[in-house]
Structure 1
Amino acid sequence: MVPLKRRKVCGAVSGRETTVKFPHVVIYLLERKMGASRRAFLSQLGRKNGFRVEDDFSDNVTHVISENNSGDEARTWLDLQQKGNVTVKLLDICWYTESMRLGCPVEILDKHKLQEGQKFQEESVEFSVPVEFSVPSYACQRRTSLENHNTNFTDALSLLAENAELNNEDGRAVAFQRAAAVLKALPVKVTSMTQLQGLPCLGQHSQRVIKDIIENGVSSEVESTINSERFKALKLLTGIFGVGAKTADRWFREGIQNLTQLENSGHDLNRAQQAGLEHYYDLNQPVTKAEAEIIGDIVKKAVHDVLPGSEITLTGGFRRGKISGHDVDFLITHPDEGKEVGLMAKVVSWLTAQGLLLYQKTTRNSYLENEEGPAQPPSNIDRFERCLSIFKLEKKEMHSIRLHPGTQSSDREPAIIEHLQHFQANSFSNSQMRPNRTWRAVRVDLVVSPISQFAFAVLGWTGSKLFERELRRWAGQVKSMSLSSHALYDSKQCKYLRATSEEEIFAHLGLEFIPPKERNA
């Protein structure tokens, strides 16, 4: 039996072997101003209709199709190709779309020809193929702000992605995440399926969900998922700090569906899980940007007391412009390479002495740079010295900046919050859920990086998760490079590419620099 990946490749190749009905017409679609995604869609459309559409320009090409280019611009491009074919026809996209509609090459009229020596008239272009947007395939090529015109679709797809993750279906989860990311990048609200023609990453499953919402206002699959006892239980159990999807699944199969049942089960929880259960309510409340800044002041005080001159950067969703999140991440370094060694232990001791840590687990830096390049992905994960902790934040310091009652984290749907609160109510008494104390627990991650790796660490820890995944995918598939939060390795040149800023890393990857607030894929 052919492996799945091989079958996919074979299928893609066989799709290109459609019978050519018009061998005398050899078409090349000019990508300039058309975009790669739209060009790929139109190429596939042409081949399905029996046209010969070439990916690369050659002397065999008889028709060059251009969109939004003047005749002079197309001619300049053609001259740069330095090919011998001087009889090639420079045509506007309207000739191509008319030919697609009729299923054969239409007669070339004056309106189809690109007029050289005259200003291009954009309003004369006819769009017979209902393609409204051109979106790059990789999320790291797109600017995605927090503003989202299609939350009804993206929330639904994100929920299905989360459900897939809870069921250890990582491939399906990524597919839903990529589909949601494409919709987040669109400049207007989608109201018709025809607007999605030619967009990348929208598989049949995602399109069914979108179509259901357009036609019925909601997705029946999403509604079924929200009301699933399994989803609600796994969502609740993975909300415990230190509990992953596999552990939650095992507990669910044992009949554990809420926190009270877990407490009464007799399970021997590890330290992280004990702390997560004890502070469950606090850790599942959103952390505001103002609270993160208060914690940042505490961390800066600790770090500067033990190693003056150190640099501290707030990363994660807050660096991308979010006003709330589920935890707070800080990157720490020192301008002098090597001075950061041993810093974490001193910072943890300082915070412990101040009574600020309810829980902490510190891991050492285990990253080693290999002259032959980084190891395979499983061993190429983040290996910085890190402290996963639960901070004790005094309420008197945050009294004036708490979220107004009813304000929810932007990462959660109201329906999920309602179910979560229902399970919490069944798990603890009101006094345990809303403890009458002068402080609250907050998840905080502290990461120490050498200055030589700091730019890569900042990029990796800023997110979003999908944006970072797509950066690594782009690096590997397009540039033959290996990117991590530690380094960038060029497999063709067999060397590491150094960088002191995120801008330099994007330049190495051949990508336009995208600022943090536009990485919310």
Structure 2
Amino acid sequence: MALEFPIIFLLSTHLEAETLQRLEDEIPTLTYDINEAEVVLGNISRKQRALFELRKHKLETSEIPGSDDPTDSPRRKRVRTTAPADDVSDTASEAESEAGTKTTPVKPSASTVKVVKLSWFTDSQKAGKVLPLGGDYLLYEGRKVPKTPVKSPSLPRAEDVLKRAMADAAARPGARPSSSQGYGRQFIHRSSQPPMLRQTTTDDEVNKHLPPIPEYLHTTYSCQRPTPVHPPNEAFIEQLTKIRTARTLAGDQIGVRAYSSAIATIAAYPYTISSAQEVGRLPGCGNKIALLFQEFKETGEIQEAKEDESDPKLAVLRLFYEIWGAGETTAREFYNRGWRDLDDVIEYGWESLTRVQQIGVKYYDELQLKIPRAEVADIANTILKHANKIHKGFQMVIVGGYRRGKLESGDVDVVLSHPDDAATRNVVESIVVSLEEAKYITHTLILSTKNSERGQLPVSWKGNARKAGSGFDTLDKALVVWQDPKWATGESKNPNPHRRVDIIISPWKTAGCAVLGWSSGTTFQRDLRRYCKKERSLKFDSSGIRSRMDGSWVDLESGPNGEPAPDMLTAERRVFAGLGLGYRPPEERCTG
């Protein structure tokens, strides 16, 4: 007679595919919905791992004996950077994108859940009876915290905010147009036209002696050019970048690409520009950028950039855009709801935010702080130390702006790899748990193990019909909030700022692609993908290179006899060579 087990959810962690399949066949009360489960069964042995798995599967619990409900939402308006602490103070592990997913009510289930060792089930089978769920078998018991449906901000309240903003605007001299013209409408740049491009006799003489355009600037691919972190025309580029940011916030993707191309070209130009004609001859610039330079040369600024900086709507959009987890689309959505500051987001929209966005609001001011190079290196070395505690032999490259030579970074990005493929499989989970236990990680917001789940095999190219936005790499990664747990005595509360940290795990066979993809500027990455597509019929991303002809993985990192690269930086150089590109050190990939 079949044993009467409670409803069981089986964790796939540390189970081979054949073992997992066998256990699923043997458990008579198996459920694939963890919210229904009375017992969570896993090949794990520690309480901390049990808690990690519950968070990973988005099952909120309070340990028995119970504690206060951690899901209270704000009831009153709060100071902008003191978002409801209880909502976001506990470490969480959730795979959420910028758009996020809204919480839905769970179906009725047992009110408590026990996480037990796999040996409880196997021993019960051997004994021919269901053994007690206590003793050495039990890792954790908790009461399920019911999820509540997301409530959209009530219309009257949102209208009140909108009316208030309109009244404030009307009360100011030179107020902006009323809402009858549409707060949500894409605004049109209001700058006066720069002066017509005129050429004097002196200019004509100067142009005869302009320096030749470097050969590498005749290509449209910025991945084929040296682009330093501090180019000769940095002040002009700064003005263009302000305009590009405004176009980004307005949703003008064509304008963003046009300005990005012009910025990348001017950043790679090795001479100080002296005339508008000198700009107009550069690839990707043309008459529009030339006119802007003429205005910049004559006045020291660009009126359009100046107006964008002082535009009150853009100021609000920029504020929302800089919330971690909220891109330009979300920023416009917040604005169109009538929200004008972080207080409005907390008071009227807290329950509709993703957890990533809640964290971004709570730690907004701290996450805007730049991270000095010494601190970036210290954080990265701590991560490497914990990785090597799990399995010796890990190598690491600090990527992002740090590797491109920036003195300060907005976040910390590290790529870890190991010559033994078995060492990198599912290791991101173990690293996160280790850093959580050491109190370095306060929140785990995105945890992806897609690469491990498919056996760390490179993904085949699925063709050009793939859904837009699906090109982001599928490497294992954890996006976390970090806080140094050590501080000087005398402080009652940790004064160290919270930091954004991305931990990326790459198999050794594609580590060169990972380092290349995560080290380069945005336009460099865009043009590298475009180059691979147009010139080599290849699909590139940080998780590997695939053929667009037959979808197969293309190995550019192994040596001539198939031997693996000796280190991650050698692998990166081999990718450049295999693509027919001259190697560009990271300090020359600063395209913006």
Instruction: Return the offset for 1:194.
Output: 1.9
1:345-393 C-alpha deviation (Å, 9 max, x unpaired)? 1111111111222211212225764556666464332111111111012
User: Among residues 284, 309, 332, which one is paired with 1:201 in the alignment?
Assistant: 284
Shift of 1:448: 1.0
**1:324 maps to 2:411:** no
Question: CA 1:353 to 1:168, structure 2 compared with 1: closer, same or farther past 3 Å?
Answer: same
Deviation at 1:436, TM superposition (A): 7.2
- Are the aligned partners of 1:497 and 1:508 in contact in 2 as well (CA < 8 Å)? no
Q: Which AA in structure 2 matches 1:326?
A: G
Q: 2: CA distance between counterparts of 1:244 and 1:477?
A: 29
Tell me the SS of whatever aligns to 1:505: helix
Q: Is the 8 A contact 1:164 1:172 kept in 2?
A: yes
1:207 CA drift (Å): 2.9
Question: What is the DSSP-based 3-state SS (H/G/I as helix, E as strand, rest coil) of the residue aligned with 2:392?
Answer: coil
Q: Distance in 2 between matches of 1:222 and 1:127?
A: 27
CA change 1:503–1:374 in 2 (3 A) is farther
For 2:577, the equivalent position in structure 1 comes to: 507
Q: Say if 1:141 and 1:511, in contact at 8 Å, map to a contact too.
A: yes
**2: distance between equivalents of 1:374 and 1:347?**
34
- For 2:244, the equivalent position in structure 1 comes to 161
3-state SS of 1:478 partner: helix
1:197–1:261 distance in 2 versus 1, CA, 3 Å:
closer
* SS of equivalent to 2:523: helix
Match of 1:342 in 2: 426
Report deviation, 1:212.
Answer: 1.6
Partner of 2:262: 179
Q: Secondary structure at the match of 2:393?
A: coil
Q: Which secondary structure does the structure 1 equivalent of 2:432 belong to?
A: helix
- Structure-to-structure mapping, 1:154-303, within 5 angstroms: 154-268=237-351, 269-303=353-387
The one-letter code of the counterpart of 2:472 is I
Aligned equivalents of 1:370, 1:270: Cα separation in 2: 29
Tell me, yes or no, if structure 1 residue 364 matches structure 2 residue 449.
Answer: yes
Query: 1:140 maps to what in 2?
Result: 223
Aligned residues: 359
Task: Tell me: CA distance 1:487–1:373, structure 2 relative to 1, closer, same or farther (3 Å).
Answer: farther
The secondary structure found in structure 1 opposite 2:483 is: strand
* Partner Cα distance (1:174, 1:326) in 2: 23
Q: Which residue of 1 aligns with 2:474?
A: 383
1:131–1:197 Cα contact (<8 Å) kept? no
1:148 Cα deviation from its structure 2 partner: 1.5
TM-aligned CA distance change 1:127 to 1:145, over 3 Å: closer
The residue that corresponds to 1:456 in the other structure is 513
Task: Return the offset for 1:128.
Answer: 5.3
Tell me if structure 1 keeps the 8 A contact 2:461–2:551. Answer: yes
Residues 456, 502 of structure 1: 8 Å contact kept: yes
Structure 1 CA distance for aligned equivalents of residues 328 and 533 of structure 2: 28
- Provide the C-alpha distance between the structure 1 equivalents of 2:417 and 2:545, rounded to a whole number of angstroms: 19
Query: Residue 423 of structure 2 aligns to a residue in which SS?
Result: coil
Unaligned 5+ runs, structure 1 = 1-125, 398-434
Tell me the secondary structure at the aligned position of residue 447 of structure 1. strand
Deviation at 1:449, TM superposition (A): 1.1
Opposite residue 188 of structure 1, the aligned amino acid is: Y
> Residue 265 of structure 1 aligns to a residue in which SS?
helix
Superposition CA RMSD, Å: 2.4
Partner Cα distance (1:213, 1:395) in 2:
48
Amino acid at match of 1:280: Y
Task: Please state how far the C-alpha of 1:467 moved relative to its aligned partner.
Answer: 0.7
Quote how far apart the aligned CAs of 1:230 are. Answer: 1.7
Q: Check conservation: 2:280, 2:286, Cα contact below 8 A.
A: no
Give the aligned residue type for 1:456: C
Following the alignment from structure 1 to structure 2, what is the Cα–Cα distance between the partners of residues 334 and 518?
Answer: 27
Q: Does 1:309 align with 2:393?
A: yes
User: Structure 1 518/395 Cα, relative in aligned 2: closer, same or farther at 3 Å?
Assistant: farther
- Which consecutive residues of structure 2, in runs of 5 or more, have no partner in the other structure? 1-205, 558-570
Is the contact made by 1:153 and 1:180 (CA closer than 8 Å) also made in structure 2? no
The 3-state SS of whatever aligns with 2:380 is helix
- Displacement of 1:145 in angstroms is 1.3
Residues 299 and 220 of structure 1: CA distance in aligned 2, closer, same or farther (over 3 Å): same
**Is the deviation greater in 272-281 or in 488-497?**
488-497
**Under a length normalisation based on structure 1, what TM-score does the superposition of the two structures give?**
0.65
How far apart are residue 133 of structure 1 and its match? 2.0
Q: Which residues in structure 2 correspond to 1:484-503 (within 5 Å)?
A: 484-491=541-548, 495-500=552-557, 501-503=571-573
1:128/1:284 CA distance change after superposition, 3 Å: closer
Whether the aligned pair in 2 keeps the contact of 1:395 and 1:440 (CA below 8 Å) is no
Q: Percent identity?
A: 25
* CA offsets 1:464-508 (integer angstroms, 9 cap, x no match): 111111111111122222211122234468753313212221122
Is 385-394 or 260-269 further displaced after alignment?
260-269
- Supply the distance in 2 between the matched residues of 1:389 and 1:203 (Cα, whole angstroms): 43
TM-score by length of 2: 0.57
Q: Deviations over 1:38-74 (max 9, x none)?
A: xxxxxxxxxxxxxxxxxxxxxxxxxxxxxxxxxxxxx
Matches within 5 A, 1:471-482: 471-482=528-539
Report how far residue 267 of structure 1 moved.
3.2
